[in-house]
Structure 1
Amino acid sequence: MKNMTLERITEVCGGVYYGSEADKKKEIAGAVIDSRQVESGYLFIAVKGEKVDGHQFIPQVFEKGALAVLSEQELSEPAGPYIRVESTLGAMKKLAAYYRRSLDIKVVGITGSVGKTSTKEMIASVLSQKYNVLKTEGNFNNEIGLPLTIFKIREQHEVAVLEMGISEFGEMHRLAEMAYPDICVITNIGLCHLENLLTRDGILKAKTESFEHLTPEGTAVLNGDDDKLCEKKMVNGKPAVFYGIGKEAKLAKTEQGEKYLAEKEVYATDVEPVGLDGTKAVIHIGAESFAVTIPIAGEHNVYNALAAVCVAGKLGLSVDEMKRGIESVKTIGGRSNLIHKGGMTIIDDCYNANPVSMKASIDVLAAAPGRKIAVLGDMGELGENEQELHAMVGEHFEGKGIDALFAAGALSENLAQAVGKCSKETEVHYFKTKDELMEELLPYVKSGDTVLVKASHFMGFPEVVGQLTK
């Protein structure tokens, strides 16, 4: 890793080095907190977790060829050099911030209430048509996952696409300080993490902490159809780049009454669903436009594609490269992932859920062929209005043509009751537990059905998907 000698690491972390002067000049080959991932020349960062203390694996990592260890403890007779620091987690963040700034690379930071991961996948797919791209893997978007992702950047990488997920005030400052993005994308300001952030204005404030950590020439790319983001027309003295459906500023009903949203620089027209196979649209950027088929269903994925086009435009891609990248994007497990099994189509969207993403997934199911079955569970971290917000999702069933709802969880009772009132065409099956739900769901489904599975992660709905795909 460029510029990452043990001497420099000690200096950046404010630690004390124990080891030979010769080793001090050596560069580490990688940095990890999982002892199983240690390779020759790596730095092992010993983190004390809730269940496991990484310090207990220090002897083994030296046996595996680790160059050095970052430790909070004094080590007696270690098999190699170590750097003692007050907090290994704090030192890791300092090190990630330093390493990112030492690299000649463009960084795209992505945040928002809904769609961070799918937007990240879309942007990475598009940019990879021109550049060597490193992207956040899985859900490595927090104060541990982000630095570990930054540590994976190597000299061959030309762009890093980094996802930043938060749930409290101040957290984005810490993440964006490490990422130091050239482009910051915010997908939307929705209804999630309300336990800590309280209101949508609170969410806006927390997400836009990222602006303070943009590079001097950095650009904000924002959803111009979002009634909160549309107000951020200037960011750090530079115009924000807005994207959305239709060029003109829309008149929208908001919490404060009617208002005009933003005019869009990058926009889509002629949006046309193609069932579960995707969505057709014409995308406009500057004086150019191109027709594209986004291979993932749902209008929300049109927005993801538009965000990617904004970023691609800033980084010099041609419209042909943009089109190719959009049309080759892949879904990932738990996020609008289509699984075909036993004549059924299962929409595996159970990684997480909030009211905005729930409604978007119901819209996708509504466009599906055959019998439409929604299997839904509780949404977490919604604060004091959690019951009303579940009922609001249930009200969204009205007129959608959903044949059956299977719902589980204490809060989902509110959702099920609302569906019963608003959508007489929908059979409503409510259960207190996921196990009770599965017991009735499995004999109910049949060939030709389309089944949406969605809930917050704590509900464990991947198990439902697992049973349906057995």
Structure 2
Amino acid sequence: MTMKELHALFLEHPTISTDTRKITENCLFFALKGPNFNGNAFAQSALDNGAAYAIIDEEEFKTSDRFLLFEDVLATLQQLATYHRNYSKARIVSLTGSNGKTTTKELINAVISKKYDTIATKGNLNNHIGVPLTLLSIKEDTEIAIVEMGANHKKEIEFLCGIAQPDFGYITNFGKAHLEGFGGVEGVIQGKSELYDYLIGHNKYVFLNADDDIQKEKLASYTKKMGFSSSDHQYYNIKFLGADPYVAVEVEGTQIQTQLVGKYNFSNCCAAILMGKYFNVPIEDIKSAIEGYRPENNRSQLLSKNGFDIILDAYNANPTSMRAALENFDLMKAKRKTLIIGDMFELGNTAAEEHQAIADFANELQFDETYLVGENFYATKTSLNKFKSFDALKEHLMKNPLEKASMLIKGSRGMALERVLEVL
């Protein structure tokens, strides 16, 4: 079967499933493989549960014409996604970066969908499987697709660009994330810049944060670009009005009061405003879209519980985002502040150094109470309260209840620090 023939079949059955627990009637099941599973072995179950066809890559499982045999199921999914991307009329906006990708993607979608029919990456399905699935969700009437791209090593963004073939791109920032895979900060810059490399190489359009010296320098001589800045009037000017606790901005004489906590969300808002401007979304629609967006899934959520005002930012953490969150928390006005932070993952041989730096910084800020959680923070040299595990922290807090305070909770996803809410 050719890719053209598979795509024709996809148009008849435009729902993709890779999980037999989530089969929908008449979908196409792609039998992906993982370290601990072989999707081919579940293909018959997918058909039994309502899938129209199963795409497999092991001939022994082909027992009827409803099994479509290809050399490699994952490669076939990716190739089908690229074929569909070129078949559709949608323009592709891709974004990557160390911090803020998902929030920025949601804001961009909120703004652009005011004028256009859009689709966007769901959740953080931003890898070699998620990007194809996003592209395959493009419908006949989709005008713009916003595709988030994640990476933890070099050449990954380059590969994803080959699949998505973006028309536009934006990099949120270059931070200390996935240092283990990228081999250091320079590796992060090179890896994320693969999006720029693709766009420049194909004469496509670039959006940039002109307050970021790295971005500004890399794109200095490139002409197909539009940038925002809070200070450089060569670029689209957006003014930061404050963040106590919510970010407020001013653009074209219009004030926008967001529901996003922390100055670090300023540039995320600016990117959405900039793209709204480029795509001719009226400023009043940009304002209503951004003011109406409320973060979820443990991403800088502002909560109140039992007398505590809590910033819950427990979806992810790296040294750059952690420092930014602490700086923002320090600037906030509150009678009493409690900090609970957890280990940052994927830092490789820089883990000890980076956790010590954050512990030292937290100590300098002198919050009323500070708790460090996780094996890396436990190994730091500090006078702050530290616990080797969440269970150890929980035991301590059960015996020593916290005083009512404003609280920041932040850590990598694996720390699951949202569990602190259960203890308050």
TM over 0.5, shorter chain: yes
Q: 1:415 to 1:363 in 2, by over 3 A?
A: farther
Per the alignment, in what secondary structure is the counterpart of residue 296 of structure 1? strand
Determine if contact 2:373/2:393 at 8 Å carries over to the other structure: yes
CA distance in 2: counterparts of 1:162 and 1:27, whole angstroms: 24
Alignment partner of 1:230 is 2:198: no
TM-score (norm 1): 0.83
CA distance in 2: counterparts of 1:77 and 1:86, whole angstroms: 13
CA distance in 1: counterparts of 2:268 and 2:10, whole angstroms: 44
Alignment partner of 1:201 is 2:186: yes
- The corresponding residue for 2:83 is 98
Superposed counterparts of 1:12-411, under 5 Å: 27-75=12-60, 78-214=63-199, 216=202, 218-234=204-220, 237-247=222-232, 265-273=235-243, 275-276=244-245, 278-283=246-251, 288-366=252-330, 367=332, 369-397=334-362, 400=365, 402-411=367-376
Per the alignment, in what secondary structure is the counterpart of residue 228 of structure 1? helix
Q: CA deviation at 1:8?
A: 3.7
Q: 1:415 to 1:355 in 2, by over 3 A?
A: farther
TM-score (norm 2): 0.91
Q: 1:447 to 1:327 in 2, by over 3 A?
A: farther
Per the alignment, in what secondary structure is the counterpart of residue 320 of structure 1? helix
Name the amino acid aligned to 2:308. M
For residues 429-458 of structure 1, what are the alpha-carbon distances to aligned partners after superposition, in whole Å with 9 as ceiling and x for unaligned? Answer: 111111101112345455742222211122
CA distance in 2: counterparts of 1:269 and 1:453, whole angstroms: 28
- The corresponding residue for 1:255 is none
* Gapped regions of structure 2 (runs ≥ 5): none
Name the amino acid aligned to 1:60. S
Q: CA deviation at 1:24?
A: 6.5
RMSD: 2.5
Per the alignment, in what secondary structure is the counterpart of residue 317 of structure 2? coil
For residues 256-286 of structure 1, what are the alpha-carbon distances to aligned partners after superposition, in whole Å with 9 as ceiling and x for unaligned? Answer: xxxxxxx5x123325222x23x122212xxx
CA distance in 2: counterparts of 1:377 and 1:340, whole angstroms: 21
Q: CA deviation at 1:79?
A: 4.9
- The corresponding residue for 1:458 is 414
Q: 1:34 to 1:24 in 2, by over 3 A?
A: closer
Q: 1:340 to 1:90 in 2, by over 3 A?
A: same
For residues 350-397 of structure 1, what are the alpha-carbon distances to aligned partners after superposition, in whole Å with 9 as ceiling and x for unaligned? Answer: 111011111222233331534211111111222332222222223433
Q: CA deviation at 1:212?
A: 4.2
Residue identity (%): 29
CA distance in 2: counterparts of 1:190 and 1:90, whole angstroms: 31
CA distance in 1: counterparts of 2:10 and 2:247, whole angstroms: 54
Alignment partner of 1:438 is 2:403: no
Name the amino acid aligned to 2:349. E
